[in-house]
Structure 1
Amino acid sequence: MTVISFDGVSKGFPATRRGSAVSALEDVDLQVERGSIVGVIGYSGAGKSTLVRLVNGLEKPSAGVVDVLGVDVGSASASELRGLRGRIGMIFQQFNLFNSRTVRGNVAYPLKVAGWKKQDIGPRVAELLDFVGIGDKAHSYPRALSGGQKQRVGIARAIAANPELLLADEATSALDPQTTGEVLALLRRINRTLGITIVVITHQISVVHELCDQVIVMDGGRVVDSGDTYRVFAHPRAALTERFVAAVTQGVPTGDTLDALLVGGGSLISADVNEFTSEHAADVFEHHGVRHTVVFGGVTDIRGRQLGTLTYRVHAEDDVLASVVAELSTRTRAQLLRPSDAAPTRGTEVAS
């Protein structure tokens, strides 16, 4: 079941004294399925924040249809939008906690707003704090907490009233890598245990890499790439996606690195490693009786599936090298590297 649908959505803002008119989103189509974890990634100005404001009804589209949890945001009344927001939890980059309230008070606040009975709030708050791993911090104030603990409070508050949809807006940008990993693991547990659909807005490809089932890549207000995270990583369709993927996968050596490797003797062959590769490069080398050693590259895990590029130093005659590359190329992207070589562009086709 689709919980978020954008159909030909554009959003513009009129000119002001401080600047000209802005087109924040242009002809955006996307869908988010119930129970999924979807990452929306792009640099500053890509349109991510505007997209979030459309999802929670803080803005209405200039054109197209935004449907969230069965509510047409563009035509909804003020009361309908308030009802929609009550079904959506929000996690913020800077936590947005009440400094004058204890941890317990912060988590209890949305329950009071939602009209929960007083006798039900206490047990619910205790349950939530235990779930996010800070049950012992109930009577602490935000100033006494670490960044990771503050974000756990924010997460507990966001899921307090049993939302159907959780929006995490740059939720890990202010955290160190270890704490980021802990928060991502918590979000994954929320999705799996509670069945809440999660949309993660981020500029960090590592977050998408570690957490998301699906990814939507935005650039200049448009969706330039989207789909299953592994497929998008393995076969990016946009230059921006290429740049993001390069941050978490080791590619083909170029420039001084390539020249230094070539000095070591033999020849260099690079080959992609992915789940669509029907045979490992090592098997091909052995089939042709070619000695080989991995000298560059790496393989990373994308939601339980391998992706990367390995570069091998090989020793063989030119005709054998050509046969090896030809056979590898029937299974994956492969090439014989030379001093002037630059990293090739990945294909645009997405394997089925």
Structure 2
Amino acid sequence: MSLFIEVKDLTIAYDGVKVLKNINLNINEGEVLGILGRSGAGKTILMHALRGAEEYENISGSIIYHLARCEKCGHIDPPSKVGETCRHCKEDSMKAFDADFVALSLHDHERRSVSKRIAIMLQRTFALYGDDQVVVNVMNSLTEIGYSGNDAMSRAMELLEDVRLSHRMMHVARDLSGGEKQRVVLARQLVRNPMLLLADEPTGTLDPRTADVVHDVIERAVKAYNMTMVITSHWSEVIEELADKAIILEDGAVVKEGDPHEVAAEFMKMVSHIEKNENVALGEPIIDVKNLVKKYISVTRGVVHAVNDISFDVKEGEIFGIAGTSGAGKTTTSEILMGIVQPTKGDIHVRVGDEWVDMTTPGPDNRGRATKYMGILHQEYGLYTHRSIIDNLTESIGIDLPYELAVRKAVKTLVATGFSEEKAKGILPKMADDISEGERHRVALAQILMKEPTIIVMDEPTGTMDPITKIEVTRSILKARDEMGDTFVIVSHDMDFLQEACDRVALMRDAKIVAVGEPNDVLSQLTEEERLLVAQEA
């Protein structure tokens, strides 16, 4: 195989903090390189550097593309085409040509001609025309590259067949699922007949079944289009299945390179162990729920019990889980806890200092007195994507502090969610879209902690996260509890997550609590039907 990409001593820094440290890599033509690493390890920065679509102020080393180029028309191909007749103009032979993305400026013609042949898939940025049909999205890509053939519609259909999406060609893009949108993105990228595909966590927010479909489509496309690929993933099995070789990035440095199976095994050893402090001293009850009932009237079903006579307490400093399948009543219970939903009957009290507040009575001197010390983190949390992390942690959420004090408090809070102090300082000037999914979740938790709550309710915090991000979220919750002493109530159908994170768990079934206690004991009482439902929901 011909050497295609040569990375030598690549170092990139932001505000004096090195995010990539002396990276050395050789990627051969037609090879699939897998990159494993925790959130914030530097995977996305490396992918963007390889893409060459942005400039870095503090960058050193080199990213050399070894290529074939037609001197007559300027067409670029992989190095194996050296000596062949140019397939574009068919008038000249391809000559060996090197392009260094570090030495060449962003606006250099040679750099741009190479980057045009590089495709990229990102985790969340689908870059589609949301109001247009799927086939129109692909035809727009053909127009963007100057394709003027009369067969544009036919070509678009062929590309959609390549990504197994011809059955959605007339759908409006915004109405597609996440996995389907990723396949449209891939079809749009295949328009340019790329020689390199950079797939940065392309399935990071998808459920496992959908992720498998997308991975299969990517693998088929790489083979059909003879592409080289670099793929990052939190799913170690994806790297084992797709990659020819793999690396682990840790804190911006390559710490291991080699066979994908060996590298994946080493990575799982690094990330799978969760340190849970078994000696946490829990306080007296801070939440007390007695005989709580919430009834709704349904036109078709009559009286429906969302919550049916439940009682439990939560101790100060405890991580308390509420488990159950969809419809069991857990979300309604959490909404009553937060004062969002008024119960039909029953008592719920929250302790503020040494005084108990009645959460069933509205008003600033009653429920309002407690809710200002309570925070909620929804599954679909939202950061302000066009504002920096420091703004997300201060002005955007109504915290007005002198800048120096705001930075100090933000760094301390980010450290409490699992960032190192250096990493916390390094991400403050970044935009929310410039950090990884796991980091965004920790920043969202830090947003809540910045307001100094004593009780935090988390609604399905792991959602469809991949296993490694779930581990990072678990660690951030445990770290925040140890650092801040806050009380957490976590609503989830993710039983593995609850088992790792919680001190106690309440299992809800048919609007009732059927068991409360140690996570292992309680979750062992799930029925086979519930386990199947939980697996489907996950």
- TM-score between both structures, scaled by the size of structure 2: 0.42
Match 1:177 to one of 208, 214, 225: 208
Matched, 1:67 2:64: yes
**Structure-2 separation of matches of 1:242 and 1:34:** 31
**Structure-2 separation of matches of 1:120 and 1:33:** 34
Matched, 1:215 2:246: yes
Match 1:134 to one of 165, 189, 208: 165
**Structure-1 separation of matches of 2:224 and 2:34:** 19
**Structure-2 separation of matches of 1:150 and 1:232:** 30
Which residue identity is paired with 1:66? Answer: I
Which residue identity is paired with 2:100? Answer: D
Tell me: CA distance 1:110–1:3, structure 2 relative to 1, closer, same or farther (3 Å). Answer: farther
1:241 positional shift: 5.6
**Structure-2 separation of matches of 1:47 and 1:180:** 23
Superposition RMSD in Å: 2.0
**Structure-2 separation of matches of 1:228 and 1:213:** 7
**Structure 1 match to 2:237:** 206
**Structure 1 match to 2:110:** 80
**Structure-1 separation of matches of 2:55 and 2:199:** 18
Matched, 1:105 2:106: no
Q: Please list the CA deviations of residues 310-351 of structure 1 after superposition, one character each: whole Å capped at 9, or x if unmatched.
A: xxxxxxxxxxxxxxxxxxxxxxxxxxxxxxxxxxxxxxxxxx
Of the structure 1 ranges 64-73 and 178-187, higher mean CA displacement relative to structure 2 is found in: 64-73
Structure 2: tracts of 5 or more residues without a match: 67-97, 274-538
Match 1:190 to one of 221, 231, 254: 221
1:233 positional shift: 4.4
Matched, 1:31 2:26: yes
**Structure-2 separation of matches of 1:7 and 1:201:** 20
**Structure 2 match to 1:255:** none
**Structure 2 match to 1:242:** 269
Which residue identity is paired with 1:150? Answer: K
1:2 positional shift: 2.1
Question: Does 1 or 2 have the higher relative contact order (CA < 8 Å, sep 6+)?
Answer: 1
**Structure-1 separation of matches of 2:165 and 2:133:** 12
1:75 positional shift: 1.9
Q: Please list the CA deviations of residues 226-277 of structure 1 after superposition, one character each: whole Å capped at 9, or x if unmatched.
A: 122134346x4xxx56335x69xxxxxxxxxxxxxxxxxxxxxxxxxxxxxx
Matched, 1:92 2:122: yes
Structure 1: tracts of 5 or more residues without a match: 15-20, 248-352
Q: Please list the CA deviations of residues 267-326 of structure 1 after superposition, one character each: whole Å capped at 9, or x if unmatched.
A: xxxxxxxxxxxxxxxxxxxxxxxxxxxxxxxxxxxxxxxxxxxxxxxxxxxxxxxxxxxx
Which residue identity is paired with 2:195? Answer: E
SS at match of 1:139: coil
1:203 positional shift: 2.6
Which residue identity is paired with 2:8? Answer: D
Question: Is 1:7–1:65's contact at 8 Å kept on the other side of the alignment?
Answer: yes
1:25 positional shift: 0.7
**Structure-1 separation of matches of 2:233 and 2:35:** 6
Which residue identity is paired with 2:32? Answer: I
Which residue identity is paired with 1:147? Answer: G
SS at match of 1:124: helix
1:53 positional shift: 1.5
Which residue identity is paired with 1:83? Answer: S
Which residue identity is paired with 2:122? Answer: F
**Structure 1 match to 2:10:** 9
Matched, 1:224 2:255: yes
SS at match of 1:210: helix
**Structure-2 separation of matches of 1:119 and 1:161:** 17
Q: Which has the larger radius of gyration?
A: 2
1:90 positional shift: 1.1
**Structure-1 separation of matches of 2:10 and 2:25:** 9
**Structure-1 separation of matches of 2:200 and 2:61:** 23
Within 5 A, what are the aligned runs for 1:262-341? none
1:62 positional shift: 1.6
Question: Is 1:2–1:31's contact at 8 Å kept on the other side of the alignment?
Answer: yes
SS at match of 2:186: helix
Question: Is 1:103–1:153's contact at 8 Å kept on the other side of the alignment?
Answer: yes
**Structure-2 separation of matches of 1:59 and 1:204:** 30
**Structure-2 separation of matches of 1:45 and 1:5:** 23
SS at match of 1:163: coil
